[in-house]
Amino acid sequence: MGIENDYTAPISSSSLTNSLMKLLMSAQKETLGFQAEVKQLLQLMIHSLYSNKEIFLRELISNASDAADKLRFEGLAKPDLFENDPDLKITIAFDAEAHTITIADNGIGMSRDEVVANIGTIAKSGTKAFFEQLSGDAKKDANLIGQFGVGFYSAFIVADKVTLTTRRAGDSEATRWESHGEGDYTLETVEKAGRGTEIVLHLKEGEDELLNDWKLKGIVRKYSDHISIPIEMKKGNSYGENGEVIVSDEIEVVNSASALWTRNKNDITEEQYQEFYKHIAHDFSPPLAWSHARVEGRQEYTELLYIPSRAPFDLWDRERKQGVKLYVRRVFIMEDTEKLMPHYLRFVRGVIDSNDLPLNVSREILQESKDIDAIRNGCVKKVLGLLEDMAANQADKYADFWKEFGQVLKEGVGEDHTNKERIAKLLRFVSTHSEGSEPTVTLADYVSRMKEGQEKIYYITADTLAAAKNSPHLEVFKKKGVEVLLLIDRVDEWSVGSLFDFDGKPLQSVAKGALDLGALEDEADKEAQKQAEESAKPVVEKVQKALGEKVKEVRATARLTDSPACLVAGEHDMSAHLERMLKAAGQSVSNNKPTLEINPEHVLVKKLAEEVDEERANDLAEVLYEQALLAEGGKLEDPATFVKRINKLMLELSA
Ligand code: ADP
């Protein structure tokens, strides 16, 4: 709520003052237009989800159950809200003659403003970005819509008119919302005896098969058995075998009506776990894995935590809600709190039900609570355990997980000090030893393949895999057969920067500091390097003079075999790659100058050493520097002059 409504003004053109008009409007029927996104969603949903139409019932029951949760929570402080009707339940009825199905709850209900804000607009953050992804291809979009969560609007898959009547607990007036699911809806203030929401679906032609208690019970049991309050089926008018109308007021509870997580593990089927996930996560796809445990000890709680099989549309949206719900002794307390799951596990969905926290726990109390810290730590360990287990026993599944959430998990290396080691073991990389481009290399794999005398874990960061693979910085490592991790995710700079070491081996960027291969270098290498440095002195000075302030230093190197030159950052400076990323994000960075390393064995460098024409030598030196900058993905400050220089040199060559 508190969002800007995008509906068109009431269709009326009286000259009454605003306030008077408002007063009148609240009493009479007004017609409002849907937010543009709602119209789009409705169209798409009706077409792309038709083959899965039964889900409308799951979605409406899910909302009704949430409404009951909200009432239970608000009722803790204001018992009057229960209005002498304390038994929360959901009722489903149908009428074969009227071609309607009615889903009713005695949950929290909605005020008129809430109806406008909730049913008629989509208040989710990231909605716009989500709609931009839609392609118009029904199959692809059905997938995306599932990710977005369709909720209430799924009613229009089977209905061509929906009438929602709702009264917020404690209010005297009720609101009726009605729509054909096209461009607009009407609102009206009405009377309603019981609190809560009643939704009447006027079925489309051809949907009569739903008007059957077996059919409806089947759907409820399949999708909504886990709902913790009773779902009652009211047999209304149905047709008998000979087409006669049978009137019945029989009522039957169709679900198990106990919170799923409170049941014994052995009594819960895979399917039930999956349907419960879909309910709490608003996701269509089954989860990848879950952990369900009752924890005893200093804190007593039950956790049922799921790893989704794919990233939600708003995984990168800062304003998105967190996905774990907190219950205290079966009463829903709140969901969107970072206190329950750290940011790097924001993809986890599920329920934590505490036995010990006070029922009146507020966000403020949670913020300070040591008890909640203990619960959170326990749950983080469960999730990491789940991932470790998957990585060890179901490599394919883990690869799927990594594809969806690997980048998020990487944040954990910097975020969660306590579990850094465990998270590091869960990381997957592409390296110079990888066959393809799939990240499958673990740090443990890397360490087990380290060469004799190798003391460090080498890595390179770049924008793309090609840029990383072909970087001049790798040349000496290729020559010596030393593996290098190729890091191309934006988060990598931050995660390797926080990791420092693994299994006692420091991580070392191959693009930073002077080349130090430690014991990987034999005596002959060292001698060769020394001699090269000695003999390269004049050319180093020449280049230094030509480049002046552009570089911090020029030096001869043994790290290059094919390239004439490369740039390296200072050991403790920010890498050039990170500097570029920050600049692109509009942040100011201290401009550390790089060191230019040149390969004295390269023909071009030899040519430069011999060059007597000063202008030409300067041009060559500039080109060496500019090439090195380009090769590591950098940007030239003066590309036009670079082109001129190259052309000049090419002409001289061909002359
Ligand atoms: P979602 O459930 O994903 O938020 P919906 O479109 O299903 O999306 O519902 C939008 C909002 O409308 C809900 O978040 C809730 O605030 C409100 N709502 C829907 N159904 C009910 C109901 N039966 N009782 C009270 N509020 C409801």
* Domain harbouring 595, CATH code: 1.20.120.790
Tell me, what's the pLDDT at 587? 81
| C-alpha 80 chain-centroid distance | 40
Distance between Cα 13 and ligand 1 center (Å)? 32
For residue 24, the cross-strand partners are none
Q: Are residues 505 and 593 in the same domain?
A: no
d(CA 261, CA 283): 18
What's the token pair of residue 210? 């739903």
CA-153 nearest atom, ligand 1: 6
User: E-assigned strands of 29-109?
Assistant: 30-33, 90-95, 100-105
Last residue of a domain, one of 393, 418, 438: 393
Tell me the CA–centroid distance for residue 110 and ligand 1, in Å. 9
Q: Mean pLDDT throughout 145-171?
A: 88
Both 466 and 584 in one domain: the answer is no
Q: Separation of 63 CA from ligand 1 center, angstroms? A: 5
pLDDT greater than 50 at residue 327 = yes
What span, in angstroms and rounded, lies between the C-alpha atoms of 560 and 552?
A: 19
Greatest CA separation for the chain: 109
CA distance linking residue 545 with residue 642, whole number of Å: 18
pTM of this structure: 0.81
Asked whether residue 336 falls in the same domain as residue 233, the answer is no
Contacting residues for 472 by C-beta, under 8 A, at least 6 apart = 559, 560, 562, 563, 565, 566, 628, 631, 632
Q: Ligand 1 pocket test: which of 38, 118, 197 has the largest number of ligand atoms within 8 Å of its C-beta?
A: 118
Are 224 and 78 in a shared domain?
A: yes
Do 271 and 371 fall within a single domain?
yes
The residue whose two tokens read 């089927």 is 269
Q: Which residues line ligand 1 (CB under 6 A)?
A: 63-64, 67, 105, 107-110, 118-119, 149, 151-153, 197, 282
CB-CB contact of 216 with 232 (8 Å) = no
pLDDT at 608 over 70: yes
Are 252 and 314 within one domain? Answer: no
pLDDT at 534 over 70: yes
**The tokens of 583 are what?**
């600049």
Whether residues 436 and 564 share a domain: the answer is no
Q: Is the pLDDT of residue 16 over 80?
A: no
At 315, which CATH number?
3.30.230.80
358 lies in the same domain as 238: no
Q: Do 150 and 198 sit in the same domain of this protein?
A: yes
Q: What is the CATH number of the domain that holds 476?
A: 3.40.50.11260
Q: Give residue 307 CA to ligand 1 midpoint distance, Å.
A: 24
Handedness of CA 150, 155, 161, 163 (dihedral sign): negative
Instruction: Give yes or no: residues 545 and 447 share one domain.
Output: no
Structural domain span for residue 598: 522-654
Domain count, the chain: 4
Question: Who wins on pLDDT, 52 or 56?
Answer: 56
At CA 139, angle to CA 138 and CA 145, rounded to 5? 80
Residue 322 has pLDDT above 90, yes or no: no
Whether residue 412 is contained in a domain is answered as: no
For the sheet with 324-328, list strands across it.
Answer: 289-295, 301-307, 349-354, 324-328, 331-334
583 — pLDDT class (breaks 50, 70, 90): confident
Look up the CATH number of the domain holding residue 183: 3.30.565.10
In the structure, what pLDDT confidence band is assigned to residue 14 with cuts at 50, 70 and 90?
Answer: very low
Q: Using CB atoms within 10 A of its CB, is residue 76 exposed (0-12), middle (13-18) or buried (19+)?
A: middle
Q: Tell me the per-residue pLDDT of 409-440, one tens digit each, with 9 for 90 and over.
A: 999 999 999 999 999 999 999 999 998 899 99
Distances (CA, A) of 625 to 36, 550, 554, 598, 651: 53, 9, 10, 9, 20
